[in-house]
Amino acid sequence: MKNTAIYPGTFDPVTNGHLDIIKRAARMFDTVIVAVLNNNAKTPLFSVAARRAQIKAAVKDIANVKVDSFDGLLADYMKRKNVSVAIRGLRAVSDLEYEFQIANTNRSLNPAMETVFLMPSAKYTYLTSTIVREVYCHGGRLKDSVPPHVERGLIEFYKKRRP
């Protein structure tokens, strides 16, 4: 696929920071595939299907964004999709070392693969899915951290778990 990029992640849940990166990538590439990873090493809050649905609802007005999911290695998924560019977000310098290692590992597994790093807007540099889950888990609300439909999903999820 010419001028296509894949933005991989667990997106548990998708945040406004993720959406900022998706919108930036959509301006740079003809097609952006947001690929939800089914990561067996993590215990996600939402199922892959729920995360895909959350992202689809959030990007419904961006015509060149598609949503998919995958298992296994990103390098293998990209080969299957015939895509050579991966998008990764960098919030802070602390992300760089980890992302650098991942990018080089992916390139060793798939030499055609390149990683493009995008920075979110400054207002999202602190935002992670982990922070969102922690705040909601303890009854807090993060203004402007997730789309309204994702916030409702979090509220419902934790409402069922509280005594």
| Annotation says 129 is catalytic | yes
Catalytic pick among 56, 66, 79, 91:
91
Q: Looking at the DSSP assignment, which residues form a beta bridge with residue 65?
A: 32
Q: Which of 88, 129, 133, 145 is catalytic?
A: 129
Query: Does the active-site annotation cover 138?
Result: no
Which residue among 42, 60, 123, 152 is the active-site one? 42
Of 18, 24, 51, 88, the active-site residue reads 18
Which residue(s) pair with 5 in the sheet? 32, 85
- Per the annotation, the verdict on 91 as an active-site residue is yes
HEC string of 33-92?
EEEEECCCCCCCCCCHHHHHHHHHHHCCCCCCEEEEEECCCHHHHHHHHCCCEEEEECCC
As annotated, the active-site residues are: 18, 42, 91, 129
